[in-house]
């Protein structure tokens, strides 16, 4: 690995012809719906319409996104935290885009006890038509929020792994602690099997050379456990640089916890280092980031007394051309602040760069007791890269410690009464589960559209704080569809995941989309997906636009110079060819899929698309009939042809 690069995090290295099959994201804050809808999902799902469009384009975009999410139902998983390190604004359940959670599985950690989900891991499974499948892995410091990707600088490691057709335990073992981390995350999220498909993907590929994962999971881990699974600071021994003498470490993170001389010494001992060879890259009081970077005064005193160095990450407001030292392309006009978490370990000529979600705190790395056990509060994940460059080699120590930006204290970490929750709907019953510190005081209500309905009866396990309720509901899905839980002065909104069958989920209404035109818009986008005519600019004129192409008015067959066209095509045949081309495109997709794995999830959707196309062609036949007595023939023939092909659809 050479110098640190400088590029957008929201991108993909998968070949252009690939399609997304499955995706996993972990984040501290709940996933930002606007970021997902307007930026991430259009990129990863490769949508053909723009979220920023006006009028018809906007409605086509929403319908296309909804269709793709229904196809990817329960194949996109987001895991976040409900416990917080610092106060944050409570996420609302009535966002304009709240409806995406009916198809995206949103999980929070804490079902087995208090836990903070602070890791930032993306796993993207890509499939190519004629080539291999790929697994794209991103480990970073970036939360799944607009603020993280637009207002902050992040550190990230990315790789694209070619997958083998079959799994292998030997390949799975090359990933070190990563599979165990994913399992623990799933258990804490209350869904031990939902992340299994991502473990199977890891078993189909090999970890890149010179890469080692370092992870933390909440809990008290004895020395015996840490020998088997080195969580937290114990994992630093796995990436300690080889060589003689004490190892050194350099750190840059925006948040430093409370440390004393003894806890610093023990942390350094995990990688064979000493506090005298410890460096912290930090900012001065006048730095623009000083409101975002937190270093307690008592920790600064402990670092200095232990012999550590505090290196000055300068920024000269008087020199607009001067880099602030973070990267040569980061200039004064760029007002983003660094949220990156980087650790550099060195011994002799051996180097290790750790890109991680972990701040320099005992909550992330663990508090070690006299018996060597570690108490960890956070889920964290990092990746160590051998012989990687360190971008802060030439920084100088502060001349005066009084110039170092500090805070008096960090305050107390919040412990929410409702630390975990889940809500799912099977079409008849909404199953609600939560963990509450005061189970007898928890209450809830369903919000469906503008109506509210209280949760009537709760059951509780008592000792572990788990509460459950089954709420009868067989009405329509209406946005927002959320369960709002309350305990004392706390409120937690849970989006309800829709577990109904595909056919039952198809006719759910979408906010912002004209219900009178919804079916026609869906038909046109379905045709478009299989090579049909691009949707018209004005949804109300969709049918008229198609009619005009097939049945031109007088004068429409003239060439640009005013002469008559030599085309003798019969308009009904022109339209029929267009409709039958859609049928052929669908048939080609079925043929292509038949050459792939028989259990491919897209098989079910292709068959359903065929059924929907038959219905859409029949409706199109009625629309085309207005153009003349022969106008309906093409769509009618397409419906008949597709119905015949469906009888011979290759089943699994």
Q: Are residues 424 and 456 in the same domain?
A: yes
Q: Are residues 350 and 242 in the same domain?
A: yes
Q: What was the pLDDT predicted at 549? A: 40
Highest mean pLDDT among 364-368, 392-396, 510-514: 364-368
The residue with greater pLDDT, 457 or 3, is: 457
Establish if 371 belongs to a structural domain. yes
What does the pLDDT average to over 174-184? 98
The residue with greater pLDDT, 247 or 52, is: 247
Of 54, 6, 61, 19, whose CA–CA distance to 39 is shortest?
A: 61
- Per-residue pLDDT band at 130 (split at 50, 70, 90): confident
- Per-residue pLDDT band at 539 (split at 50, 70, 90): very low
Kindly report which listed range (197-206, 494-503, 642-651) carries the lowest average pLDDT score: 642-651
**pLDDT for 331 beyond 90:** no
Q: What was the pLDDT predicted at 324? A: 54
Q: Are residues 487 and 613 in the same domain?
A: no
The secondary structure of 465-479 as a DSSP string is: -EEEEEEE--S---S
Establish if 217 belongs to a structural domain. no
Establish if 223 belongs to a structural domain. no
Establish if 60 belongs to a structural domain. yes
**Residues listed for the chain:** 652
What does the pLDDT average to over 615-627? 85
Q: What was the pLDDT predicted at 91? A: 43
The number of folded domains in the chain is: 4
Q: Are residues 166 and 108 in the same domain?
A: yes
Residue that terminates a domain, selected from 172, 189, 208: 208
- Per-residue pLDDT band at 335 (split at 50, 70, 90): confident
Domain containing 638 equals 518-647
The residue with greater pLDDT, 545 or 501, is: 501
Q: What was the pLDDT predicted at 326? A: 62
Establish if 213 belongs to a structural domain. no
Residue that terminates a domain, selected from 166, 188, 208: 208
Of 37, 221, 12, whose CA–CA distance to 135 is shortest?
A: 12
Q: What was the pLDDT predicted at 333? A: 66
**pLDDT for 563 beyond 70:** no
Establish if 198 belongs to a structural domain. yes
Q: Are residues 82 and 159 in the same domain?
A: yes
The two three-digit tokens of residue 143, written as one number = 């939360």
Q: Are residues 349 and 389 in the same domain?
A: yes
Of 67, 61, 91, 64, whose CA–CA distance to 78 is shortest?
A: 91
Give the position of tokens 């999410």.
69
Neighbouring CB atoms inside 10 A of 319's CB total 9
The two three-digit tokens of residue 282, written as one number = 């930090």
- Per-residue pLDDT band at 318 (split at 50, 70, 90): low
**pLDDT for 559 beyond 70:** no
**pLDDT for 45 beyond 50:** yes
Q: What was the pLDDT predicted at 554? A: 41
Establish if 215 belongs to a structural domain. no
CA separation for the pair 219, 231 (Å, rounded) = 10
């Amino acid at each position: 690995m050479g110098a640190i690069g400088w590029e957008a995090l929201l991108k993909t290295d998968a070949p252009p012809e690939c399609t997304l099959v499955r995706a996993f994201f972990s984040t501290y804050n709940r996933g930002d719906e606007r970021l997902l809808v307007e930026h991430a999902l259009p990129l990863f799902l490769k949508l053909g319409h723009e979220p920023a469009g006006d009028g018809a384009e906007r409605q086509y975009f929403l319908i296309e996104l909804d269709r793709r999410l229904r196809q990817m139902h329960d194949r996109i998983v987001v895991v976040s935290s409900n416990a917080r390190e610092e106060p944050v604004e409570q996420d609302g359940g009535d966002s304009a885009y709240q409806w995406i959670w009916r198809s995206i599985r949103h999980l929070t950690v804490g079902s087995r006890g208090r836990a903070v989900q602070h890791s930032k891991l993306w796993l993207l499974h890509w499939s190519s038509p004629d080539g291999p499948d790929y697994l794209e892995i991103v480990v970073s410091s970036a939360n799944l929020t607009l603020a993280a990707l637009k207002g902050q600088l992040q550190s990230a490691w990315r790789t694209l792994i070619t997958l083998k057709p079959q799994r292998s335990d030997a390949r799975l073992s090359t990933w070190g602690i990563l599979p165990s981390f994913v399992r623990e995350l799933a258990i804490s999220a209350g869904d031990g099997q939902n992340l299994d498909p991502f473990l199977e993907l890891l078993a189909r590929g090999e970890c890149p050379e010179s890469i080692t994962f370092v992870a933390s999971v909440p809990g008290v881990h004895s020395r015996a456990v840490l020998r088997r699974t080195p969580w937290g600071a114990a994992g630093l021994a796995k990436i300690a640089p080889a060589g003689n003498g004490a190892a050194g470490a350099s750190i840059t993170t925006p948040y430093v916890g409370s440390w004393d001389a003894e806890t610093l010494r023990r942390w350094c001992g995990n990688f064979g280092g000493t506090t005298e060879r410890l460096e912290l890259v930090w900012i001065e009081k006048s730095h623009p980031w000083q409101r975002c970077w937190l270093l307690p005064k008592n920790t600064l005193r402990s670092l200095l007394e232990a012999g550590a160095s505090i290196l000055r990450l300068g920024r000269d407001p008087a020199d607009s051309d001067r880099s602030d030292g973070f990267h040569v392309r980061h200039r004064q006009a760029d007002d983003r602040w660094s949220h990156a978490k980087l650790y550099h370990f060195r011994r002799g000529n051996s180097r290790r760069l750790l890109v991680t979600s972990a701040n320099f705190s005992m909550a992330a790395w663990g508090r070690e007791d006299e018996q060597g056990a570690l108490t960890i509060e956070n889920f964290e994940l990092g990746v160590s890269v051998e012989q990687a460059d360190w971008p802060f080699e030439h920084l100088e120590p502060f001349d005066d410690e009084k110039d170092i930006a500090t805070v008096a204290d960090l305050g107390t970490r919040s412990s929410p009464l409702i630390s975990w929750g889940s809500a799912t709907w099977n079409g008849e019953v909404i199953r609600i589960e939560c963990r509450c510190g005061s189970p007898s005081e928890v209450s809830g209500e369903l919000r469906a559209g503008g109506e509210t309905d209280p949760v009537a009866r709760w059951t509780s396990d008592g000792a572990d704080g788990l509460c459950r309720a089954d709420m009868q509901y067989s009405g329509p899905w209406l946005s927002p569809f959320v369960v709002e839980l309350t305990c004392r002065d706390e409120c937690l909104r849970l989006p309800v995941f829709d577990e109904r069958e595909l056919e039952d989920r198809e006719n759910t209404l979408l906010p912002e989309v004209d219900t009178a035109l919804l079916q026609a818009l869906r038909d046109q986008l379905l045709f478009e997906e299989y090579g049909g005519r691009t949707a018209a600019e004005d949804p109300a004129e969709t049918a008229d636009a198609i009619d005009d192409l097939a049945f031109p008015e007088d004068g429409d067959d003239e060439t640009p110079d005013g002469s008559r066209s030599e085309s003798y095509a019969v308009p009904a045949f022109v339209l029929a060819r267009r409709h039958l081309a859609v049928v052929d495109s669908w048939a080609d997709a079925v043929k292509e899929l038949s050459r792939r794995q028989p259990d491919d999830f897209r098989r079910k959707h292709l068959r359903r698309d065929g059924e929907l196309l038959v219905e859409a062609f029949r409706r199109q036949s009625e629309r085309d009939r207005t153009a003349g007595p022969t106008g309906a023939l093409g769509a009618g023939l397409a419906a008949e042809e597709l119905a015949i092909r469906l009888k011979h659809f290759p089943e699994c």
